[in-house]
Amino acid sequence: MLRCGDKILLSGVVYTSRDAAHKRFMKILDEGGKMPFDIENAVIYYAGPTPAPEGRPIGSCGPTTSGRMDRFAPRLLDLGLGGMIGKGERSKEVRDAIVRNKAVYLCAIGGAGALACNCIKSVEVIAFEDLGCESVKRLVIEDFPLVVANDMYGGDIFSSGRAQYAKNI
């Protein structure tokens, strides 16, 4: 089981989604519709990739600030979302939903989107193409470097990191 602070290399399928797509998810769910992908154990990467340069599946693909999705995340977690990838601290409501649903929040390295794109092997727009870079994309990733920031046991790298830092001052 993943624990707060673990460093991992993730391979498999993840879905990109940011603010605009999350708002549409809520509208679809409120109207009794289905998500554009199977949310059960899925991982959402909070990213808005740039267009692909010649010969590449994708352009720069770094994480966006996760806190902007905090108002949506508990509902998605309660529907079976297995994990989220982004950058920055999460709200108490999101951390509680992670524990309640035995999920995980992973942090990617901010500012390294040009390097992260090397781990993305294929890209397919699956929903909301009109949103451009914020459309929902299905990414196949390989050895994507991440750190476990919030685990299903209540571990929080941000609070534990601050506590460790305060001890060392």
pLDDT tens for residues 92-143?
A: 999 999 999 999 999 997 766 667 788 899 999 999 999 999 999 999 999 9
CATH number of the domain bearing residue 66: 3.20.130.10
Count of domains forming the chain = 1
Domain span holding position 24: 7-167
Residues contacting residue 120 through CB under 8 Å, at least 6 positions apart = 49, 57, 58, 61, 139, 140, 141, 144
pLDDT tens for residues 8-33?
A: 999 999 999 999 999 999 999 999 99
Answer yes or no: is 86 within a domain. Answer: yes
Q: CB of 42 within 8 A of CB of 16?
A: no
State how beta strands 120-127 and 83-86 pair: unpaired
Answer yes or no: is 22 within a domain. Answer: yes
Predicted TM-score of the model (pTM): 0.93
Answer yes or no: is 156 within a domain. Answer: yes
Question: What share of the chain has pLDDT > 90, as a percent?
Answer: 78
Cα 42 to Cα 25: distance, rounded to the nearest angstrom: 14
Answer yes or no: is 12 within a domain. Answer: yes
